[in-house]
A and B are shown apart, each in its own frame.
Chain A
Amino acid sequence: MKLRPSVQQDDFMNTAVVSASGLSLTFQTNDGPVNALSDVDLTIGKGEFVSFIGPSGCGKTTFLRVIADLEKPTAGSILVNGMMPEQAREARAYGYVFQAAALLPWRTIEKNVALPLEVMGMSQSEQRARVSRTLDMVNLTGFEKKYPWQLSGGMQQRASIARALAFDADLLLMDEPFGALDEIVRDHLNKQLLELWARTDKTICFVTHSIPEAVYLSTRIVVMSPRPGRVTDVIESNLPRERPLHIRETPQFLEIAHRVRDGLRAGHSYED
């Protein structure tokens, strides 16, 4: 799936939500330069669910942050919805879900979900309608008036997903959103996320540490490795779109998981 410059590239970009070519990012630190991303070529089409997996320092979060215009690449080019990342951010092209819920503790859940809508200057009635719709999507109806610290970690993260969904961006960037949650809550939220994706037809970029999570969720898995951060393999998933939790015990699933693990090994991700 590596995309090399070709005659068809221009056509392809029109349908691509994210297209990066030769993308590199070097952080200047006190210990010298760190190559967080090195020559990454990747195209993500509309409606895909792409997971980024790899050990710490492989640049998967950095790549997501470059898409979101939270970091500037030092070389190469990247387009988001056919725009520069900065324009895309200003056009509110994506919703971003962080590792922690990052809800504002002085706002109730409904006010937290309404935060981006307020920033975007939507009318009160529009805000109310969208808040109740998105809270319903993440099964948080009835918790509108609660404060974040009155909810469990899983509920907080669901509220933060609702906040990212509230303004109907077509692209959802999720940076290890369930990393801090326990396995049972995580399974539950994974299932809900898949249902949500099926219903809304959004494009989702999902960063994770977990092989089962990546395989369970994705249509495509991008395996990355550190020092320098680069893409070592891109694995297409041939699992059906309808995925009950027990699909994770099928040979098909284990086969893909095995390939992901091989990809990680090939990128020296299991070495010290």
Chain B
Amino acid sequence: MMELLSLSTVTPKSWQSYVALALILAAVLLWPIFAEPATSDIGSFSFVLLFLLVAIGADGFPPKPAAGVLFVGAHGAVLILLAMLLGNEGAARPPFYLLMAAAWLLAWRCIALLSGLQPAARWAQILLRLVIPAIFGLWLLIFWEAITRGAGIPFILLPPPSAVGARIANSLPILAADVQQTIFKAALAGYAMGCAAGFVTAILADRFLFLRRGLMPIGNMVSALPIIGVAPIMVMWFGFGWESKAAVVVIMTFFPMLVNTVAGLAASGHMERDLMRTYASSYWQTLFKLRLPAAAPFIFNALKINSTLALIGAIVAEFFGTPVVGMGFRISTEVGRMNIDMVWAEIAVAALAGSVFYGVVALFERAATFWHPSVRGG
């Protein structure tokens, strides 16, 4: 052990490294790491220590190499620790968690170093922007895996992410069919119709005063309709197919678009409107050349809000009657059959799809509102 410690000829620079060092010492003193000493493999254990200590030693290097070694050391150690769990489910003792915590601290130090980097190259900036949140997300999964398997948490309560991953890999055709039914048919169709209807209504409400006075309060009420109550009625009206789910999504997405567009149409300045008036510009010319472009940030806000609402609406609406396909259907039936890993698989797919949906809308937003101070930065 002492030879390994002497590897760290460069002194660490951060409190994370010192605490990690203390945690490693405690783990060694509290040996063994699993309840059965026979299964606590000394060889693997030494490799874990090696990785961690090399990482601690590298903490004194300049930021870039230090971050690299810390990354490899912390994650290599974790990988071995998780591998050692095989056959030892539910038998982890405190040293196991102490070593996990030490690795986590070193990963923290790695992220801190990465966050401080200011690379000149554009690709490196983009890479950094992706890598830092990716490490964060990775550690969420690592802890989830370590705790569920280390403490032997019942599968029904919370399956480890590795089991969910395996389930996703084994059920790709089912998941693809569910995504096709729920997202590509119900959610997207409802999203398009709801957003379009909200937008057109906002224009009409802007054009005709009586609509603004009469329609806005009713629109407000529609938005307050509980989706749980509306969904079964939509199923009665539009049948079990995706159409009834799209109808629920239309109801959910209509109002955010209406309110945001109405607010956006009021966003152009007095001076700009006076300017259009001095040109004797018609209502529609002013609308298309001034007021709608000025409303774009508001409209995109609604599109982003609605992208997540559409997904929620389509999934929840399937709880109330559906053909035997769809993400909401799968979740409700697999819960009943205690196939919790399948439920988590659907949740993971929904989260991924929702993020992609949101991300695509946000990309369009950046392209369309490049001129807005929030996008151009200043």
Which A positions have Cβ atoms within 8 angstroms of B?
68-70, 89-92, 94-96, 98-100, 102, 104-106, 115-116, 118-120, 147, 149
Question: Does A90 contact B274, Cβ atoms closer than 8 Å?
Answer: no
> Which of B278, B279, B280, B369 lies at the interface centre, i.e. has the most chain A CB atoms within 10 A of its CB?
B278
- Cross-chain contact of B293 among A91, A95, A102, A106 (Cβ < 8 A): A106
Q: Which B residues between 224 and 283 are near A, CB-CB below 8 angstroms?
A: 269, 271-272, 274-281
Question: Does B275 contact A102, Cβ atoms closer than 8 Å?
Answer: yes
Residue of A nearest to B271 (CB): A102
Known contacts A102-B272, A149-B371; decide if A89 and B277 are in contact (CB<8 Å).
yes
Residue of B nearest to A65 (CB): B274
Which residues of chain B have C-beta atoms less than 8 A from A149's C-beta? 371, 373, 376
B290 within 8 A of partner (CB): yes
Question: Does B275 contact A94, Cβ atoms closer than 8 Å?
Answer: no
Docked CA distance A149–B376 (Å)? 10
Question: Does A104 contact B272, Cβ atoms closer than 8 Å?
Answer: yes
Q: Interface code B296-340, partner A: CB below 8 Å = 1, 0 otherwise?
A: 100000000000000000000000000000000000000000000
Known contacts A102-B271, A102-B272; decide if A147 and B279 are in contact (CB<8 Å).
no
Question: Does A119 contact B279, Cβ atoms closer than 8 Å?
Answer: yes
Docked CA distance A106–B289 (Å)? 10
- Cross-chain contact of A98 among B274, B281, B289, B369 (Cβ < 8 A): B274
The count of residues in chain B whose C-beta lies closer than 8 Å to any C-beta of chain A is 23
B372 within 8 A of partner (CB): yes
Task: Label chain B's interface by main secondary structure.
Answer: helix
Residue of A nearest to B370 (CB): A106
Q: How far is the CB of B86 from chain A (nearest CB, A)?
A: 58
In the complex, 28 of the A-B residue pairs with CB atoms within 8 angstroms, ordered by the A residue number, are A69-B277, A70-B277, A70-B278, A89-B277, A89-B278, A89-B280, A90-B280, A95-B278, A96-B274, A96-B278, A98-B271, A98-B274, A98-B275, A99-B271, A100-B271, A102-B269, A104-B272, A104-B290, A104-B293, A104-B294, A105-B371, A106-B371, A118-B289, A119-B276, A119-B280, A119-B285, A119-B289, A149-B371
Q: How far is the CB of B290 from chain A (nearest CB, A)?
A: 7
Which residues of chain B have C-beta atoms less than 8 A from A104's C-beta? 272, 289-290, 293-294
Question: Does A116 contact B274, Cβ atoms closer than 8 Å?
Answer: no
Which residues of chain B have C-beta atoms less than 8 A from A116's C-beta? 279
Known contacts A102-B271, A115-B289; decide if A92 and B280 are in contact (CB<8 Å).
yes
Which residues of chain A have C-beta atoms less than 8 A from B290's C-beta? 104
Docked CA distance A92–B272 (Å)? 17
Which residues of chain B have C-beta atoms less than 8 A from A118's C-beta? 289
Docked CA distance A92–B289 (Å)? 18
Residue of A nearest to B293 (CB): A106
